[in-house]
């Protein structure tokens, strides 16, 4: 009986370690953002902010891109605004 309990505990530990390893090497974020727009504009902006912070913490975007995206979110835009010089605006 002790051997059966020890075997079950060993299998549980092995399963937990395999699960942790796959999560460690897997994607941190889903490919598509959650369906936040269904919960409203504010929730969508919050979700976008969390994604940008996650990208910055994991080194997927640099400081400049982070600042631009957070500035866009602060102005209520979920997508970053393009620079006027790129679009051929006043300065281009």
What is the C-alpha to C-alpha distance for residues 3 and 7, in angstroms, rounded to an integer?
6
The pLDDT, as a whole number, for residue 27 is 65
Tell whether the torsion through CA atoms of 23, 25, 28 and 32 is positive or negative. negative
The pLDDT, as a whole number, for residue 9 is 96
- pLDDT tens by residue, 32-77: 655 545 567 777 788 888 999 999 999 889 999 999 988 888 888 7
Q: What is the pTM of this model?
A: 0.44
pLDDT confidence band for 23 (50 / 70 / 90):
confident
From 11-15, 50-54, 71-75, 84-88, the region with the lowest mean pLDDT: 84-88
Domain boundaries, the chain: 2-84
């Amino acid at each position: 009986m002790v051997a059966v309990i020890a075997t079950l505990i060993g299998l549980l530990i092995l399963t937990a370690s395999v699960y942790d390893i796959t999560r460690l090497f897997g994607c941190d974020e889903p490919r598509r953002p959650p369906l936040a727009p269904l919960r409203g504009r504010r929730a969508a902006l919050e979700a976008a902010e969390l994604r940008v912070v996650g990208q910055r913490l994991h080194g997927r975007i640099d400081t400049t891109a982070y600042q631009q995206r957070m500035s866009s979110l602060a102005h209520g835009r979920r997508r970053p605004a393009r620079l006027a010089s790129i679009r051929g605006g006043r300065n281009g």
